[in-house]
A and B are shown apart, each in its own frame.
Chain A
Amino acid sequence: MARSSDAEFIEFVIGSHQRLVQLAYLLCGDWHRAEDAVQSAFVRMYAAWPRIRSRAAVDLYARKAVLSTVRDDARRPWRRERVSARLPEQVSQDRSGRVDERLLLVSALRMLPTRQRTAVVLRYLADLSIGDTAEVMGCSPGTVKSQTARAITALRKSFTDVGLNLQDPDATNLPTPEGTRPWH
């Protein structure tokens, strides 16, 4: 049966809104833009809703719509992204002097080229398989693998530059800068 009822659509919107906003946030780095992008994606989805026939297809379509909306938004002249060689300076330290890994990650993601960022976010936040990631991105699985690998390498370098090891599970025991008194 065609997925055409508003009740189903509303149920889907409510159930998926949070994770899609989170996905959009890591893609664009801004909560406001993320919420706007997801809302626009839902509007697109509503128009296509009668033609989307399975739950799996709905999820994939939703991610595609979000990705597409974020990408379109970033292409607008006043929001055009510029890749920088340096991390933004606002990567913060808490009172113990520790670098906030979460902000570092978000900042580092923003420095990645769009396709690398998309690949790594879909793979590691959305938990998509390589095949599904390729489907959402509209590329081959091989491209997903290569883009993901490059993204990981770049992220790892960003972390290494501030003395963190992205692969190390103990990286949460961060080295504190000299002169800073740790809490414990």
Chain B
Amino acid sequence: MALIDQLMRDAVEDGRPLSGPNLGVILARGRARRRRARFAQAGAAALTGTAVVGAVTLGQSIGPDRGGPPQTVDVASPSATPAPSSSASPGFEAAVDELVARHLDPGHDHLSRFGGGRAGSDAYVVMTFDWFDGPKMGKSTWLDAANAWYQARQDGQSVEPLRNGKINLAWADADTELGSGDRNRATGADKDCAVPPRRVLSPPLNWESCTRESLPDGTTMLEARSNADGVQTIGVTRIFADGSKISVSVSTGGDLEEPSNDSTGIPLRELPATIDQLRAILLDPEMPATPPPFEPSAYEPSAS
């Protein structure tokens, strides 16, 4: 039997060179499928409710005054569990969406929120936006995990996503670092200068420069820049008196891999925002200083 298993391995290993998985397509279609399942569940709940109401109405309509037999109608609530809310705090998200768009994309032509993430409880929250040169994907929402990174985009489109750029907006408490890489050995720039624009399976970003400025209101503003691997990235962080911080960064690269291997889109050639625009986002009086409260129940995944 050894020969069979060896032959099988030879047959597949000496066969056609394999290309990597198309993560963009898989995630986009997976999210659409998940959304359809969620809608189906919500539809089932609605149907159940409608059925109950219908039964009540029917019972009433065929009651004694309609000539039907006397009946006792027991009104029960729908048995199916309604689909959970698709948003933990829509007011907060909508406000931030609008605020970011006001400064970066007033015409709402390019920016689309990809989702958000939360590490720990409230320690580190990120909202992620994609910048599109072409048509935007559909609306996004916050879904799923508790105490884990999560991201969701309810695109429901059959087109492949073209996530050409990356914008991350993060809130972190005083004890939580923003960066995931080591201090840049060449420049000494602080890894915590700004939230990394790339997150998943990406090499850590080492900022090439980090400048610090004290503002009259007692907050501190950090400005970070990097041009590593040909990917332009800038970031700004505002640190409050209690050490908590808000940070925003923009990159020409996507978030999955280096641009050359990034199957999710074509990297932007130019940054879609300037340092001044990022500063304006953080200094906007409407920018919430803290993320929305963590509500685990709101993030419980729905059965699909």
Contact = CB atoms under 8 A, between A and B. Distances in A.
Interface of A: 1-2, 4-11, 13-14, 17-18, 21-22, 25-26, 31, 35, 38-39, 42-51, 101-103, 105-106, 120-121, 124-125, 127, 152, 155, 166-169, 171
Contacts of A13: 21, 23, 26
B23 A125 contact: no
A11 B201 contact: yes
A150 B64 CA distance: 69
A101 B31 CA distance: 42
B12 A22 contact: yes
A50 B1 contact: no
Interface residues of B, number: 47
B46 interface: no
Nearest to B12: A22
Contact of B34 (A8, A47, A152, A167): A47
Q: Secondary structure at chain A's binding surface: helix, strand, loop or mixed? A: helix
B76 interface: no
B4 A152 contact: yes
Contact of B11 (A5, A105, A127): A105
A13 B304 CA distance: 20
Given A6-B200, A13-B23, A42-B21, A169 B33 contact: no
B215 interface: no
A25 B15 contact: yes
Contacts, number: 132
A97 B241 CA distance: 80
17 contacts: A6-B149, A7-B149, A10-B23, A13-B26, A22-B13, A39-B26, A47-B30, A47-B33, A48-B304, A50-B144, A50-B304, A51-B301, A102-B7, A102-B11, A124-B4, A125-B8, A152-B4
Nearest to B26: A42
Contact of A43 (B7, B33, B147): B33
Contact of A35 (B19, B23, B149, B201): B19
Given A1-B148, A167-B3, A14 B21 contact: yes
A5 B119 CA distance: 11
Given A14-B21, A47-B30, A50-B301, A166 B144 contact: no
B9 interface: yes
A169 B11 contact: no
Max count, chain A CB within 10 A of own CB: residue among B7, B15, B22, B144: B7
Nearest to B9: A125
A51 B2 CA distance: 37
A21 B12 CA distance: 9
B141 to A, nearest CB: 14
B301 A124 contact: no
B126 to A, nearest CB: 12
A39 B25 contact: yes
Contact of A25 (B12, B21, B31): B12
B18 interface: yes
Given A42-B26, A46-B30, A106 B4 contact: no
Nearest to A24: B12
B90 to A, nearest CB: 20
A127 B145 CA distance: 33
A49 B97 CA distance: 28
Contacts of B29: 43, 46
Interface string B120-155: 000000000000000000000000111111111000
Contact of A46 (B14, B15, B31, B146): B31
Contacts of B21: 13-14, 17, 38-39, 42
Nearest to A170: B3
B18 A18 contact: yes
